[in-house]
Amino acid sequence: MIISLLKETGAMLDGHFLLSSGCHSDIYFQCARLLQYPDKARSVIAPIAERIRADIDSGILSIDAVVGPAIGGITAAYEMGRQLGVRAFWTERDDCGAMALRRGFEIDVGQNVLIMEDVVTTAKSSLETARVLESLGAKVTALACIVDRRSGERARPLPFHAFYAAVRIEAVNWNAEECPLCGKGLPLAKPGSRKQGKV
């Protein structure tokens, strides 16, 4: 169901893409296209929320707040927070490009946080967000996402107590110098939120 929703909303794209991680790929997930529909956002996040609630009920997990790395994690975090009945907010990059907690958002020492992403490729944004929250005294207890697109080395275990994904799709990611699509001379697109367009 989730893959069909991604395709139906144009959130799963084929082509030659530059990911925010710096890798190249022939598939790109623009989950904002799916998350613009509240009913579809609810339906793709509901299965993850159910698993998280089950782990909370069994004492495996504790969640006081959901935090999403901007921009992709903002809507996903909000919907997850709504379904779990907890506060939801986000981190974003400051003027120097470092992930930070801004806009007056605060986290209390000892609070348990779930980081919510739209897509996880290398988990770089999630790890940066975790460092920010932990430096403020929070406990990052879990990571969740709509699409887990890690492959190869990137699929190694993540340093979180728990990891939840609505769907896992084995997507090939290449370093720029090894990309076969570059070798074919195919135009490279960067459709993400940072400096979109042709590269």
Q: What is the pLDDT of residues 157-179, one digit of tens each?
A: 677 889 999 999 888 888 889 99
What are the structure tokens assigned to 35, written together? 């998350």
Residues forming a β-bridge with 112? 139
* pTM of this structure: 0.87
Give 55-64 pLDDT, tens digit per residue.
Answer: 999 999 999 9
Give the chain's domain count: 1
Secondary-structure breakdown of the chain: helix, strand, coil percentages, each rounded to the nearest 5: 35, 30, 35
Indicate left, alpha or beta for 121 from its phi (over 0: left) and psi (-120 to 50: alpha): alpha
State the residue range of the domain holding 90. Answer: 2-198
Per-residue model confidence as pLDDT tens digits over 20-60: 778 899 999 999 999 999 999 999 999 999 999 999 999 99
How does pLDDT run across 82-97, given as a tens digit for each residue?
Answer: 999 999 999 999 999 8
**pLDDT (0 to 100) of residue 198:** 47
Rounded to an integer, the average pLDDT of 170-189 is: 89
Average pLDDT of the segment spanning 115-139? 93
| Rounded Cα gap, residues 197 and 158, in angstroms | 31
Whole-number Å distance between alpha carbons of 98 and 119: 19
Instruction: Look up the CATH number of the domain holding residue 193.
Output: 3.40.50.2020
- 114 and 67 Cβ atoms separated by less than 8 Å: yes
